[in-house]
Structure formats: C-alpha cells, structure tokens
Amino acid sequence: MKKKHRPTDNGKDKSILVPQKEKVNFELNIRERTDLTDKQKELNEIILNKETKVVFINGPAGTSKTFCAIYCGLKMLNERRVSDIVYVRTIIESASKSLGSLPGEMGLKMEPFLMPLMDKMNEFLSVEQTKKLIAEERVKGIPVNYLRGASMNAQYIICDEAQNFTFKELTTAITRLGQFSKIIILADPNQSDINGKSGFMPMFDLFNGEESASKGIHCFSFTKEDIVRSGILRYIAEKIENYSVNHQPKHEPMFPTK
C-alpha cells in the first residue's frame, strides 16, 4: 500500500501523513537563559537538529542533563514540531518503597518520580502555563513498562534516570520511536540502583560511533568539569570518583561475629 503524502498549496511538502495528535494552539512563554555553557549549547543544538532521532546523554549529577532535555522539548512543543512531551521513568528507586507499594492509581504513584520534570517546567514556564500543559496532557509521565506496544508519532520522549533501565527496558523505550519523534535518554551510571544490571552503558557504547550519528543517533557525555549546579557538588563528585578508583568494594557481613 502506498504511503499518503501531505498535500500543499505549492506542491513542495512531501512529508508523510502519520497519525498524530493536534499540536498546541497557544504560545509558550519560555524563559530563556543567557548563561548557558558551550557544552550545553552544543547539546541543545544536537537535540534540536531536525535529523536527530535519539540522543544518549551520560554525565554526573548537576551537569544539566534534565535541564537541557526539557528545555529542548518545550522549544519543540512551542514550534509545533511535536504534540507532547512524555517523561519516562523506571519504577526502580533507591528508597525503601517501590512504586507498587505506594497508595493510589498509576498517576498518583508517578507523582514522586515527576519532581525533576516539574521543577524544570516551573523554571522555564509560569505556573499557569505548566498547569495548562498538564491539564491538556501535553506533558505526562509514565513508567517504562507501560511503553510496550505503543507507537509514538510526533512526540518528544525523555527517559530520565536511565541508569536504572535494564538493556531490555531501554530496548522497549527506543523501539517506541515513531515518525517525527525524538527520544532523549539521560543517565548517571554512578547512581544505578539495580546492582550491576543497568543496560545504559552497553546501549551507549553500542551506538557511540559515526555510523549511528549519520542515522541521527547521538551519544553525548558530560564530565565532572561540566557540573553547574553548585561548586560543592563538583568537589563531592571528585571525592567520590577518587574513592571509587582507589577502593575495591569489600563484601563483609553486615553483623560480623567476634
């Protein structure tokens, strides 16, 4: 069956018609930042490039991974390049309670996991516009295991804390990519909570090359030198990194006998 193409007055638009949600019908007043680093600008340029389909972003806490991902998502939403921002998290977390043991329906259970998203949304937009986007389901959060079987056209997908995704979960996420969509995968491999089962670095290494980049799949790395959240955080990251290098983990009993 032949694919249908979008008709235009001048006959030049030959883009394929795909099922997708209507775009936003109001303007977002995004607060711009004038203090972006060269590394942040480089990442934003990669994400916003029309040829980019997937970006893996690797870096320690405080290097603006989520900041850049959400900023670019709002830009694309405002330019009518996508219809929605989908924020994906795994149900794994370092706290003592899992998602399944929290009270309420799925939406309520996801609220604690959406805090990074909401913090950044409120940084870029007024409270009123943030509420409007959420009310219209233009911005929504879902667990990664809810993605199976979905096909996402003209959507901007952020997989945050992806160091807690297994290789299989990352495969599920990346294969949801439909026409005119982007998927941004963020991770700090030093903060994995799944005991060596993280699939992020194997997936990062798999696509970290010129061939993948030529097909719109990019791998981008921040280092501790790129930490912008606070000066003390860079110091903490350096101390932890040095400790990890110089100390092998010891498997001693929690309650040793005398």
pLDDT digits (tens, 9 = 90+) for 166-202: 999 999 899 988 888 999 999 998 888 887 789 999 9
Strand 54-58 to 182-187 pairing: parallel
> In the chain, what are the domains?
38-92+106-246 (3.40.50.300)
Give the DSSP H or E segment for 138: none
Q: How many Å apart are CA 47 and CA 73, to the nearest integer? A: 9
Q: Which residues 6+ apart lie within 8 Å of 146 measured at CB?
A: 106
| 41-45, 178-182, 195-199, 221-225, range with greatest mean pLDDT | 41-45
State yes or no: pLDDT of 251 exceeds 50.
no
Percent of all residues in the chain with a pLDDT value above 90, rounded to a whole number:
46
Which of 87-91, 157-161, 234-238 is the least confident region? 234-238
**Helix extents (H) in the chain:** 38-48, 65-78, 106-110, 115-124, 127-135, 167-174, 200-207, 210-214, 231-246
Residue 103 has a pLDDT of 47
CA–CA distance, 126 with 87 (Å, rounded to integer): 19
What pLDDT does residue 7 have?
47
Range in 44-53, 99-108, 196-205, 227-236 the model is least confident about: 99-108
Contact 27, 78 (CB under 8 A): yes
Stated as kind and residue range, the H or E segment containing 223 is none
Give the mean model confidence (pLDDT) for residues 72-82: 95
**Average pLDDT of the segment spanning 58-64:** 90
Q: What are phi and psi of 66, to 5 degrees?
A: -70, -40
The C-alpha atoms of residue 156 and residue 49 are separated, in whole angstroms, by: 13
Higher pLDDT, 229 or 24: 24
Nearest-CA neighbor of 197 among 177, 169, 159, 232? 169
Q: Per residue in 21-34, pLDDT tens?
A: 788 888 999 999 88
Distance, CA of 61 to CA of 51 (rounded, Å): 28
Residue 35, pLDDT score: 87
- Residue 16, judged by CB atoms within 10 A of its CB (0-12, 13-18, 19+), counts as exposed
| DSSP character string of 140-204 | EEEEGGG-TT--BSSEEEEE-SGGGS-HHHHHHHHTTB-TT-EEEEEE-GGG--STT---HHHHH
The chain-wide mean pLDDT, for the chain, equals: 80
Give residues with Cβ within 8 angstroms of 124, minimum separation 6.
30, 31, 70, 71, 74
For 121-135, what is each residue's pLDDT tens digit? 999 999 999 999 988
Do 191 and 162 touch, CB atoms closer than 8 A?
Answer: no
In 215-244, which positions are buried (b, 16+ CB within 10 angstroms) versus exposed (e)? eebbbbebebebbbeeeebbebbeeeeeee
